């Protein structure tokens, strides 16, 4: 690799960074991360900080997971790539599909379709949902329903179901026939309802009303994150997802659980769906499937959907969809090793225990700092919403957010800023001492 001066000089020139304004990046270049070890990363200036972002919600096992590195190296030696398109397959992809469907058996998942990441997984679920209705002779069912504040990646389908204008406006027109209903967020909602159970009911009723207005027989699927991540860690009441399931069942609408963030223990349960005992029709997964060591994702398919495709006698059943890297053998080898470590270390239990400690620390920070309007958390995903005026819930400006994150970085903790939220999603292998360090970093920043 070229030297640090070269990297610094070119940091924001030939590269456009995702989710950033190119001019802003030039004025204030991103940190160059050079090394990762355990749950920490080191930048080009040699500063080592605890990674409270976990890469991007994905490095659940930290940066020193030798079994994943070894499995990838062995697979690179044996077979660095072969296609998973009709006609050929590879050992790791077959094995990983088997393990995933066994793993997510409580959610009723029986088939896996491999992708290169979360946006691909969402796109796959949306497309297969439409195809499902064509096979069933109900081709009018083309619409999708989603939650405001939901995040589902950046492909055109995913952007269309996204519930945040920032990811939509510049790319419109998006897919027609997508409709959004309020998210069950106690801090900000159109009903001014602060009781989580009552709010869940109101939001469920809004879905019913939208379905009645659109006509159930025009709707293909409802998509939701069991805990909304990028929208600011919105944790619905435990009754919400089961209510959505019941509404979908009554009107024969497919339910897509977008578990790109919530899968693999992040919420303190193996999946966000399992947290509320819900069985979706599709689960989209990615990120921690390889703990971030390789770009891989999958769309998991329930028996209800798989049976229709597998019994199909029409011309609609063949899947005209897939990616060059669907089932990449090195990615699937990484996935198998990550899954084995995820299970062996029972990271769901650590996420639950550390999550309780983190939650307590966040409540204490809210009590201490006027700047904190709301704190939201579930397992090891958390957000602090910063406001300049608690009564008016006025979001703080960009500069304040950057000041908080920079000060925390100076105190040895990497945070992520998203709008006026500080987002936390540390590796699931953190210790109680790491939680205390994150809290200290936040305290300094605030
Ligand atoms: N779905 C959810 C819930 C996500 O949080 C994300 C990314 O953060 C995606 C989909 C898109 O995943 P990717 O960035 O891997 O395409």
Q: Which residue has the CA at smallest separation from atom 1 of ligand 1?
A: 152
Give the Cα-Cα-Cα angle 166, 150, 133 (nearest 5 degrees).
Answer: 115
Per-domain boundaries in the chain: 31-61+346-445, 69-344
> 283 has which bridge partners?
257, 300
**Per-residue pLDDT averaged across 320-337, rounded?**
97
Q: Which atom of ligand 1 is nearest to the CA of 286?
A: 15
Torsional class of 192: left (φ above 0), alpha (ψ -120 to 50), beta (otherwise): left
- With bands split at pLDDT 50, 70 and 90, how would you rate the model's confidence at 314? confident
Class of domain 31-61+346-445: alpha beta
pLDDT tens-digit profile of 36-87? 999 999 999 999 999 999 999 999 999 999 999 999 999 999 999 999 999 9
Q: For ligand 1, what atom is nearest to the CA of residue 158?
A: 10
What ipTM was assigned to the predicted interfaces of this complex? 0.99
Q: What one-character DSSP code corresponds to residue 396?
A: P
**Which of 162, 183, 262, 287 most suits a substitution to test ligand 1, by most atoms within 8 Å of the C-beta?**
287
3-state class (DSSP) for residue 154: coil
Nearest-atom index, ligand 1, CA of 295:
15
Q: Which two tokens stand for residue 276?
A: 């509320």
Q: What is the pLDDT of residues 241-261, one digit of tens each?
A: 999 999 999 999 999 999 999
Architecture of the domain delimited by 69-344: 3-Layer(aba) Sandwich (3.40)
Please, which pLDDT band fits residue 377 given cuts at 50, 70 and 90? very high
Looking at the CA of residue 230, tell me the nearest atom of ligand 1.
5
Determine whether the shortest distance from the Cβ of 167 to ligand 1 is under 6 A.
no
Angle at 31 between CA 35 and CA 371, to 5 degrees: 115
Q: Give 122-133 pLDDT, tens digit per residue.
A: 999 999 999 999
Would you state the pLDDT for residue 103? Answer: 95
List the structure tokens of 308. 């229709």
Q: Whose CA is nearest to atom 15 of ligand 1?
A: 118
- Per residue in 404-433, pLDDT tens? 999 999 999 999 999 999 999 999 999 999
* Bridge partners of residue 35, in order along the sequence: 42
Q: Which atom of ligand 1 is nearest to the CA of 229?
A: 5
Asked if omega into 408 is within 30° of 0 (cis), the reply is: no
Using the mean position of ligand 1's atoms as its centre, give its distance from the Cα of residue 260 in Å: 6
323-330 mean pLDDT: 98
pLDDT in tens, 79-116: 999 999 999 999 999 999 999 999 999 999 999 999 99
Distance 189 CA to ligand 1 centre (A): 24
- Ligand 1 atom with the smallest distance to the CA of 119 is 16
Measure the CA–CA gap between 347 and 429, rounded to whole angstroms: 6
Mean pLDDT over all residues of the chain? 97
- Return the best residue to mutate from 151, 259, 264, 297 for the ligand 1 pocket (most ligand atoms within 8 A of CB): 151
Residue 1 banded pLDDT, cuts 50, 70, 90: confident
pLDDT of residue 2: 85
What value does the mean pLDDT take over residues 199-217? 98
Report the distance separating Cα 259 and Cα 109, nearest Å.
Answer: 13
Give me ligand 1 centre to Cα 287, in Å. Answer: 8
Percent of the chain with pLDDT over 70: 100
Contact yes or no for 334/68 (Cβ under 8 A) = yes
Which whole number is the average pLDDT over 287-293?
A: 98
Question: Would you say 237 and 246 are in contact if contact means Cβ atoms under 8 Å apart?
Answer: no
Q: Measuring CA to CA, which residue among 414, 320, 309, 336 is closest to residue 49?
A: 414
Atom of ligand 1 nearest to the CA of 120: 16
Tell me, using a 6 A CB cutoff, whether residue 232 lines ligand 1.
no
Q: CB neighbours of 434 closer than 8 A, spacing ≥ 6?
A: 39, 50, 354, 426
Cα(347) to ligand 1 centroid in Å equals 21
Kindly state if the Cβ of 225 falls inside 6 Å of ligand 1.
yes
Strand-strand pairing, 394-395 and 381-389: antiparallel
Res 75: pLDDT: 98
Other CB atoms within 10 Å distance of the CB of residue 310: 11
Q: What is the distance between the alpha carbons of residues 16 and 26, in angstroms, rounded to a whole number?
A: 10
Q: How far is CA 311 from CA 20, 85, 140, 299, in A?
A: 46, 21, 21, 20
The interaxial angle of helices 303-310 and 118-135, nearest 10 deg, is 60
For the chain, give the percent of residues with pLDDT over 90. Answer: 95
Q: What is the pLDDT of residue 169?
A: 95
Tell me which residue has its CA closest to atom 13 in ligand 1.
118
């Amino acid at each position: 690799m070229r030297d640090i001066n070269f990297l610094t000089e070119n940091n924001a020139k030939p590269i456009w960074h995702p989710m950033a304004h190119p001019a802003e990046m030039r004025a204030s270049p991103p940190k160059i991360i050079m090394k990762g070890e355990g749950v920490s990363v080191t930048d080009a200036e040699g500063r080592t900080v605890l990674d409270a972002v976990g890469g991007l919600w994905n490095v659940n096992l930290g940066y020193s997971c030798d079994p994943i590195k070894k499995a990838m190296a062995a697979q690179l030696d044996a077979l660095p790539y072969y296609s998973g398109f009709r006609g050929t397959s590879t050992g790791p992809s077959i094995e990983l599909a088997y393990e995933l469907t066994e793993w997510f058996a409580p959610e009723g998942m029986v088939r896996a379709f491999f992708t290169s990441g979360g946006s691909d997984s969402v796109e796959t679920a949306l497309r297969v949902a439409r195809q499902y209705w064509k096979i069933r002779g109900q081709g009018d069912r083309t619409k999708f329903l989603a939650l405001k504040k939901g995040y589902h990646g950046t492909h055109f389908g995913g952007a269309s179901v996204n519930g945040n204008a920032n990811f939509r406006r510049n790319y419109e027109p998006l897919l027609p026939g997508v409709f959004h209903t309020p998210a069950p967020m106690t801090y900000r909602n159109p009903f001014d309802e602060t009781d989580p159970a009552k709010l869940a009911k109101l939001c469920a009723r809004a879905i019913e009303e939208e379905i009645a207005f659109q006509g159930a027989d025009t709707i293909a699927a409802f998509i939701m994150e069991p805990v909304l991540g990028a929208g600011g860690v919105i944790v619905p009441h435990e009754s919400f997802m089961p209510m959505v399931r019941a509404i979908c069942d009554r009107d024969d609408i497919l339910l897509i659980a977008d578990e790109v963030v919530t899968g693999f223990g992040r919420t303190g349960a193996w999946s966000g769906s399992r947290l509320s005992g819900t069985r979706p029709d599709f689960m989209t997964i990615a990120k921690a499937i390889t703990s971030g060591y390789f770009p891989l994702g999958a769309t998991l398919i329930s028996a209800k959907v798989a049976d229709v495709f597998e019994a199909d006698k029409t011309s609609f059943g063949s899947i005209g969809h897939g990616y060059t890297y669907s089932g990449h053998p090195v990615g699937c080898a990484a996935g198998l090793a990550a899954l084995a470590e995820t299970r062996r270390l029972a990271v769901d239990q650590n996420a639950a225990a550390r999550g309780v400690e983190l939650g307590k620390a966040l409540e204490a920070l809210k009590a201490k700092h006027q700047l904190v309007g709301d704190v939201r958390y579930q397992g090891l995903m958390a957000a602090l919403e910063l406001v300049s005026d608690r009564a008016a819930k006025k979001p703080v400006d960009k500069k304040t957010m950057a000041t908080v994150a920079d000060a925390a970085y100076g105190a040895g903790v990497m945070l992520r800023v998203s709008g006026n939220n500080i987002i936390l999603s540390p590796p699931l292998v953190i210790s109680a001492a790491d939680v205390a360090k994150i809290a200290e970093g936040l305290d300094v920043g605030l």
